[in-house]
């Protein structure tokens, strides 16, 4: 994948290009970390997964992929607060790719309540807990700020943990298929005049709004939003169908003279959408087309939901990198995030 443009001090272009190799490597590492140390399915009453940023997306994607086969509740937390049900019988999966005191706090409280806790993330995130010696931990690389882009390395271990506990089938066939499908897509997406560059050109300096269907489509929409926020340092927003058709859609009735100059709608589609949701895209598009600068439809490839998500995730990351390059922005450092997380207290 050829890159020209401003500095990329954290090597994100290379990291993104390595996603096809990252997936099987993450599966192998997770199997080593979790083999023989997780409770069996009969003793798991529910699953609680905690994450922020990329970690939260990993939990969300895993929950969506697992839903058709998982026979226990799967709850996702995005803070350090635990619901009352977490305790003996709960499998807790804590995902943190950087220093995340909220996630460490949640893991500590969960362990004190008798839950079985496993960790996915960097040593810098979980060092306060690793001294205990009995925390099953799948290390995610790279660490530091570059880990914000490690969506494959964060997502696959969550699925592997569920599989090792006997709650899901082996994810290896799905992971392998996704990796194989992504290899040619890296070059195709990242080419100087490829789909990512063209999408970045069409978005330009407008504010993008990403819509996806519930499940992996909605997770992909939020991933695109966050990668543009963090990588391109631009405002971006996301919403999910069918929920947006019960609220947000009504908000586009006024202010069209402003929004049609300032906003671009990107519809993230895939062939695994439920038919009742898929049928909503045309009327949603018709309702907002006149008040948007542009409406773009993007279709994912992939044999299953995991493959489709990673196809969209790869493209979204590359769009963010191209947008950063167009504006001369280094996509790696995010001073606003570092400063607020370094605040006292």
Query: Tens digit of pLDDT for each residue in 79-108?
Result: 889 999 999 999 999 999 877 889 989 999
**Distance (Å, rounded) from C-alpha 321 to C-alpha 323?**
5
Answer whether residue 318 shows pLDDT above 60. Answer: yes
Residue 254: strand, helix, or coil: coil
Residue 100: strand, helix, or coil: coil
Least confident range from 48-52, 112-116, 128-132, 278-282: namely 128-132
Answer whether residue 27 shows pLDDT above 90. Answer: yes
CATH number of 12-170: 3.40.50.10490
Residue 232: strand, helix, or coil: helix
How far CA 290 is from CA of 25, 213, 238, 252, 293, in Å, comes to 46, 22, 19, 10, 8
Instruction: Check: CB of residue 44 under 8 Å from CB of residue 89.
Output: yes
CATH 3.40.50.10490 residue ranges for the chain: 12-170, 188-326
pTM score: 0.94
**Distance (Å, rounded) from C-alpha 56 to C-alpha 313?**
14
Average pLDDT over all residues of the chain: 92
More confident residue, 298 or 149: 298
Answer whether residue 344 shows pLDDT above 80. Answer: no
Phi, psi angles (nearest 5°) of residue 248: -55, -40
**Distance (Å, rounded) from C-alpha 304 to C-alpha 243?**
23
267 C-beta neighbours (distance < 10 Å), count: 20
**Distance (Å, rounded) from C-alpha 21 to C-alpha 19?**
5
Tens digit of each residue's pLDDT (9 = 90 or more) over 177-218 = 999 999 999 999 988 899 999 999 999 999 999 999 999 999
Instruction: Check: CB of residue 36 under 8 Å from CB of residue 42.
Output: no
Kindly state the DSSP code that residue 142 receives in the 8-state scheme: S
CATH superfamily of 188-326: Glucose-6-phosphate isomerase like protein; domain 1 (3.40.50.10490)
Cα atoms in the 13 Å half-sphere on the side-chain side of 283: 11
- Those residues whose C-beta lies under 8 Å from the C-beta of residue 303, and which sit 6 or more positions away, are 174, 177, 181
Answer whether residue 6 shows pLDDT above 80. Answer: no
Q: Can you say how many angstroms the Cα of residue 303 is from the centroid of all Cα atoms in its chain?
A: 19
């Amino acid at each position: 994948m050829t890159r020209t443009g401003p500095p990329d001090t954290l090597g994100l272009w290379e990291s993104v290009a390595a996603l096809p190799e990252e997936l099987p490597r993450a599966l192998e590492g997770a199997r080593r970390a979790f083999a023989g140390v997780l409770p069996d399915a009969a003793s798991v009453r529910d699953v609680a997964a905690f994450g922020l940023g990329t970690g939260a997306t990993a939990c969300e994607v895993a929950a969506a992929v697992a839903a058709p086969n998982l026979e226990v509740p799967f709850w996702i937390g995005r803070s350090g607060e635990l619901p009352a049900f977490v305790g003996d019988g709960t499998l807790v999966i804590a995902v943190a790719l950087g220093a995340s005191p909220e996630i460490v706090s949640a893991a500590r409280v969960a362990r004190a309540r008798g839950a079985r806790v496993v960790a996915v993330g960097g040593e810098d995130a979980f060092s306060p807990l690793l001294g205990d010696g009995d925390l099953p931990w799948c290390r995610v690389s790279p660490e530091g700020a570059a880990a914000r882009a490690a969506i494959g390395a964060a997502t696959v271990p969550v699925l592997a943990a569920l599989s090792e506990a006997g709650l899901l089938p082996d994810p290896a066939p799905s992971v392998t298929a996704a990796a194989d499908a992504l290899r040619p897509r890296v070059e195709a997406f990242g080419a100087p005049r490829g789909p990512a560059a063209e999408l970045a050109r069409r978005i330009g300096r407008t504010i993008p709004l990403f819509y996806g269907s519930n499940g992996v489509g909605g997770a992909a929409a939020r991933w695109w939003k966050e990668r543009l926020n963090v990588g391109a340092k631009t405002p971006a927003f996301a919403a999910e169908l069918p929920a947006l058709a019960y609220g947000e859609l009504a908000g586009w009735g006024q202010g069209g003279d402003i929004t049609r100059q300032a906003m671009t709608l990107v519809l993230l589609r895939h062939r695994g959408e439920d038919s009742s949701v898929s049928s909503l895209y045309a009327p949603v598009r018709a309702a907002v087309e006149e008040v948007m600068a542009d409406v773009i439809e993007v279709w994912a490839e992939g044999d299953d939901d995991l493959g489709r998500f990673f196809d969209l995730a790869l493209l979204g990351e590359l769009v963010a990198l191209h947008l950063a390059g167009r504006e001369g922005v280094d996509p790696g450092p995010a001073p606003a995030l570092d400063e607020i997380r370094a605040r006292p207290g």
